């Protein structure tokens, strides 16, 4: 395939062309030439747009693919098409399938089904058998079989001994543990954020404390595993490529390349602050936020719309502001979709009976741009590209001649109406809305995948 991307503004801090408007010629999956007014033969496909931007391919660190086991909600083909439509070239899928991705056989099935898809599918394997929080999986075997990280996905690692030993097992292989912080004994039967709104609506609440206690616990256990060797140091320098100095000044946070503990979908101001402090003290931690958490607070549930029922729940306006601040100062490393497809039978119920989850792959960029609180475009793109790649230990991708062409094309000012979805499920609160931030297509695996 030959493809000419004409007059695109390059958004890639690692590229010498960052911020420049250039033509990009892609040939046989590689970037062959970058320049101005490049000449090509008449039969070369040309992509043009009035406000065309291009970056390295976007990465989503948290996707529920539902395949195997729940293919009526989503399968690996439909989730790949939805991901490509949302501008992603890479997605990391959670192990919460049936059977759970807790053995090489199931992991191998996902990797085989991923072949030929428009996106690269990376597998997050379970820490415990059936993600039940009791017995360890064969993590070393799963690592050698291709797992990019380990997590029980929607289930928090509640047992502190299991958590501690997992960190110890993963250290020698430079593995990553991802944990969604929730003390479930405090959230049983919870439906939404615990506060005035939950009281007015008569719904059992999910307190912020449940998340914050688990963040504190996990950080303490990490200190124990590391022998407190990073705690309390004012500054640590590294000569590793991409490493940054660690400073304790408020608002300046570390971004260690090799995080060994990743907090998934944080939602409260206190969680942001705890992780900010941990990074400032040199702890090898990272975190992400779900895009929809940047848009809604708990007042959005006044109409009992089950498409807005998510876990962690939408918090208070002050928490939303803290999440945006965490993105701006580097505390929050990545923006994820937390794509959780649910069929109509799981959502068209009374609120307290409905399942949690939103389909978000196609709207991550658009809703973040539409509701942006002054986060520069370059920083937003970093949260979708270089930082997720670093955390997951994926090969770096940059826009340079001779490099593999894994690219996302977009118009940050373009408007579009989200009136169709490639997902099998329709549990999105954004369907029918007009949004800003239009994905034009992706270039990946030697193919151009236009959204239109």
Catalytically active residues are 338
Whether the Cβ atoms of residue 119 and residue 92 lie closer than 8 Å to each other: no
Gap between the Cα atoms of 358 and 442, Å rounded: 23
Alpha-carbon separation of residue 162 from 95, 97, 158, 354 (angstroms):
17, 21, 8, 31
Dig out the tokens for 308 from the structure: 């807005």
Dig out the tokens for 194 from the structure: 């615990």
Dig out the tokens for 268 from the structure: 């409260």
Whether the Cβ atoms of residue 21 and residue 34 lie closer than 8 Å to each other: no
Torsion sign over Cα 357, 421, 86, 324: negative
Q: How many CA atoms lie within 13 A of 112 on its CB side?
A: 7
Across 157-185, b (16+ Cβ under 10 Å) vs e yields bbeeebbbebbebbeeeebbbbbbbbbee
Residue 346 neighbours by CB under 8 Å, 6+ apart: 73, 354, 355, 427
Name the DSSP letter for residue 356: P
Residue 272 neighbours by CB under 8 Å, 6+ apart: 266, 322, 323, 325, 326, 331, 332
Alpha-carbon separation of residue 452 from 83, 177, 364, 406, 436 (angstroms):
14, 37, 17, 19, 16
């Amino acid at each position: 395939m030959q493809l000419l991307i004409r007059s695109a503004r390059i958004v890639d801090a690692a590229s010498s062309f960052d911020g420049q408007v250039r033509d990009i010629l892609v040939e046989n999956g590689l970037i062959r030439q970058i320049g101005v007014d490049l000449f090509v033969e008449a039969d070369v496909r040309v992509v043009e747009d009035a406000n065309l931007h291009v970056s390295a391919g976007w990465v989503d660190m948290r996707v529920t693919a539902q395949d195997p086991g729940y293919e009526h909600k989503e399968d690996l083909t439909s989730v790949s098409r939805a991901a490509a439509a949302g501008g992603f070239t890479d997605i990391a899928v959670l192990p919460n399938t049936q059977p759970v991705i807790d053995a090489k056989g199931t992991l191998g099935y996902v990797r085989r089904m991923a072949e030929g898809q428009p996106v690269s599918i990376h597998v997050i394997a379970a820490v415990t058998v059936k993600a039940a929080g009791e017995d360890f999986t064969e993590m070393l075997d799963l690592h050698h079989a291709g797992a990019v990280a380990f997590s029980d996905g929607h289930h928090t690692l509640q047992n502190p001994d299991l958590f501690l030993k997992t960190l110890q097992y993963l250290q020698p292989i430079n593995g990553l543990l991802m944990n969604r912080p929730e003390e479930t004994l405090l959230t049983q039967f919870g439906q939404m954020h615990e506060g005035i709104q939950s009281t007015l609506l008569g719904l059992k609440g999910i307190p912020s404390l449940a998340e914050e206690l688990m963040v504190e616990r996990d950080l303490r256990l990490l200190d124990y595993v590391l022998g407190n060797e990073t705690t309390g140091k004012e500054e640590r320098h590294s000569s590793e490529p991409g490493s940054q100095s660690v400073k304790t000044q408020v608002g300046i946070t570390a971004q260690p390349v090799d995080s060994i503990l990743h907090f998934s979908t944080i939602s409260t101001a206190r969680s942001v602050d705890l992780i900010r402090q941990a990074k400032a003290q040199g702890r090898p931690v990272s975190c992400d936020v779900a895009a929809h958490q940047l848009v809604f607070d708990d007042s959005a549930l006044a109409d009992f719309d089950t498409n807005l029922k998510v876990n962690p729940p939408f918090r208070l306006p002050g928490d939303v502001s803290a999440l945006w601040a965490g993105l701006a100062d580097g505390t929050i490393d990545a923006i994820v979709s937390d794509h959780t497809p649910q069929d109509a039978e799981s959502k068209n119920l009374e609120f307290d009976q409905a399942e949690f989850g939103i389909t978000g792959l196609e709207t991550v960029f658009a809703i973040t741009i539409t509701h942006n609180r002054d986060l520069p475009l370059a920083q937003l793109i970093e949260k979708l590209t270089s930082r997720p790649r670093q955390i997951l230990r994926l090969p770096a991708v940059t826009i340079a001649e001779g490099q593999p062409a894994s690219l996302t094309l977009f118009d940050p000012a373009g408007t579009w109406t989200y009136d169709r979805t490639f997902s099998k499920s329709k549990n999105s609160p954004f369907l029918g809305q007009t949004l800003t931030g239009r994905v034009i297509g992706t270039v990946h695996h030697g193919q151009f995948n236009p959204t239109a």
